[in-house]
Chain A
Amino acid sequence: MMGVSVHGVSLLGPGLSNWAEFHEIVAGRRPYHQGQETRIPIPDVLPPTERRRSSAAVRCAVSAALEALRQGGMDGRDVATVFATSDGDGAITHQICDGLSRSEREVSPTAFHNSVCNAPAGYWCIATQATTSSTTICAYDLSFAGGLLEAAALATVESRPVLLVASDLPSPFPLHAVRPVRHALAAAVLLSPSSGSRALMRWVIRLDRSLPVTPPPSFVAETLLANPIARCLPLWSALARNAEEEVVMEYVDGSVVAVACRPQG
């Protein structure tokens, strides 16, 4: 069992521009409007060169990371990072595979360095001057649960704050046909092993088997779930409601990642 405190959290998705909006929707004080696109800001922390070179996938992940970090009031230079993604950057994959299918076989150097799965992590480290450890993981549909496990192990074993940043974006045609992610969604959470007075919640995380998986919150429309990172929503809802409950997420081969949520204060 791994105990971590939650110091900051964020969400960026269709009709969800930040954590405060999600909080209002969960509380029933604001309706959730379906059918919107995710509006991805250009993060102000990126230096001009990186701002110009960054892809939507980078901007999406970095924006979510920034909101959670600022909410937790920590300095990015002190925080290790775990980036989780199911598919990496489908737009870059498309651009490169399309270029390779033509007779000139041109690959742009910028597209190539953006093609590494840890591109958002690289941009984040440059933007925040974080020289700390950074890992990028992938577990297909289970990438959020896998990333949470990796982040919790890093925070507890090395006794340091860790920022988990999970994100996925739709791929362009024709890749979209084989991996129909509907919209861009990014979620980040700032964890530390110690329970501070400013923590939003305490999570006790464990691997288990054969427990029923927690369903998504009631307001969540089917379309919102068409992104693997949406599997964070039951846990994000528990955070928003400050609820004492156990959230269970599917992981590999019948195993689950179970999070016992303990409200603070």
Chain B
Amino acid sequence: MTPLSITGMAVVTSLGRGLAATWEGVRAGRHGLRPNDFEDAGIPTWIGRVEGIESEPLAGSWAEYDCRNNRLAWLGLRQDGFDEVVERARGRYGANRVAVLMGTTTSGILETELAYRRRDAMGAFREPLRYAHTQNLFSVTDFVRRRLGVAGPALSISTACSSSAKVFASAARLITAGCCDAAVVGGVDSLCFMTLYGFASLDLLSPEPCRPCDVDRSGLSISEAAGFVLLERDADDRADVAFLGYGESSDAHHMSSPHPEGRGAADAMAGALRSAGLRAGDIDYVNLHGTGTLANDRAEDLAVCRTLGEATPCSSTKGATGHALGAAGVTEAILAVQCIRQGFLPGTQHTRRIDPTFRSRVLLQSRRGLVRRVMSNSFGFGGNNCSLIFGGWP
């Protein structure tokens, strides 16, 4: 693919508001996880909750969009000067030429969950549910594009935990096809009962902070996050880091467990290398999907070894941020760009002893080093895989 400039980034995670807070946490080996204190969800697990959303409702003309997910989106949009870089792109290309593509898995479903609890004796909702502006998956994309004042193509992508990686691929295609000149891509997913109880039903939640790739790993730590990236076609003033390639694949194996040999994951990684015109040796660091479940980490290790060999440093940052599901892809894409800019390879927090059956080079400790190109992996239920590559201009 033709590389695209990364001209803006903004992020909110459980580590804090803004890129500096999240990056400083990752760099210093801090994490944003806490024993589950989400509403009255009494599941013994650790979560990454973004503090303060509960007391920051959307007001005025935005009130109809008010829900935990859109509050988180708005919090994200106000970080890191993001609105200003979008404003500049709008001026340069015109509002109609700036797309908005957002990944989410549950959007504002918490509103619906709470409305179900308050149903009357006949089972009907007691008060009107603002379905289109909250629960519907397009709600967050519609909210973001209105807040940014852009009118280009707009889509939500919902492919489980690969959602906000897939938005990069779709944006690259829409720009290449001439449908837009720039794209705001991102992901917003917020805590809700469905994901907590759903992952618990599959026995995939860790009772402690998740330990990706650890021999004693016991599942994932759910979190919430909002992340945004502005992608622009080759601008006069090229950004220092570009989005270089993507690979997408399907496992065609099982709805909720990955292909045991990591076949689909390896296909996506190989596709990303082809798309970027790179070879395995060109990748300096892999930000793993690395959720901390037995099956994911094992399959991903096999896929990394098959595609990149055993020497490429890799790690999971989910011990720091938790697994933000539909916002994980963009959060980790942003971290990948930071790794390149800062010359830093993060370790894998909470992980003490790497699974001895793994052959890939999983980093336990963070270290400084030249990072020219990063691959970022995101895999989801339904066997949906996406790998992205970021780096300096070729």
Contact = CB atoms under 8 A, between A and B. Distances in A.
Contacts of A123: 255
Interface in B232-255: 248-255
Interface string B87-113: 000000000100000000100010011
Interface stretch (B75-83, B148-156, B315-323, B331-339): B148-156
B84 to A, nearest CB: 22
Contacts of B124: 173-174, 177
Contact of B160 (A53, A100, A118, A132): A118
**B interface SS class:** mixed
A119 interface: yes
B117 A101 contact: yes
Contacts of A50: 255
Interface residues of A, number: 67
B116 A1 contact: no
B170 A125 contact: no
Contacts of A178: 125, 128-129, 131
Contact of B153 (A125, A132, A207, A254): A207
Contacts, number: 215
B174 interface: yes
A136 B172 CA distance: 16
Nearest to B102: A138
B197 A107 contact: yes
B116 A109 contact: no
A88 B137 contact: yes
A140 B105 contact: no
Contacts of A96: 194, 198
Interface string B159-188: 110000010011011101111000000000
Given A157-B173, A174-B125, A136 B158 contact: yes
Interface in A161-215: 173-175, 177-179, 207, 209
B61 interface: no
A139 B381 contact: no
A153 B382 contact: no
Contacts of B174: 149-150, 153
A125 B252 contact: yes
Given A96-B194, A97-B116, A154-B173, A136 B159 contact: yes
A219 interface: no
Nearest to A82: B170
Contact of B138 (A101, A105, A122, A138): A138
A207 B255 contact: no
A74 interface: no
Q: Which of B153, B160, B197, B384 has the most chain A CB atoms closer than 10 A to its own CB?
A: B153
A14 B155 CA distance: 28
A118 B119 CA distance: 29
A113 interface: yes
B161 to A, nearest CB: 9
Interface in B195-219: 197-202
Contacts of B119: 101, 174
A86 B107 CA distance: 13
B342 interface: no
Given A116-B105, A153-B173, A122 B151 contact: no
A138 B170 CA distance: 13
B105 A117 contact: yes
Nearest to B125: A174
B201 A109 contact: yes
Interface in A238-264: 251-255
Contacts of A134: 159, 248, 250, 382, 384
23 contacts: A86-B138, A100-B193, A108-B201, A113-B381, A116-B105, A117-B159, A118-B382, A125-B383, A130-B252, A132-B250, A133-B248, A135-B170, A139-B154, A150-B155, A153-B173, A153-B179, A178-B128, A178-B131, A179-B132, A251-B153, A253-B145, A254-B151, A255-B151
Interface of A: 1-2, 50, 53, 86-88, 93, 96-98, 100-101, 105-109, 112-119, 121-123, 125-126, 128-140, 143, 146, 149-150, 152-154, 156-158, 173-175, 177-179, 207, 209, 251-255
Interface of B: 96, 105, 109, 112-113, 116-117, 119, 123-125, 128-129, 131-132, 135-139, 141-142, 145, 151-160, 166, 169-170, 172-174, 176-179, 193-194, 197-202, 248-256, 263-264, 267, 271, 380-384
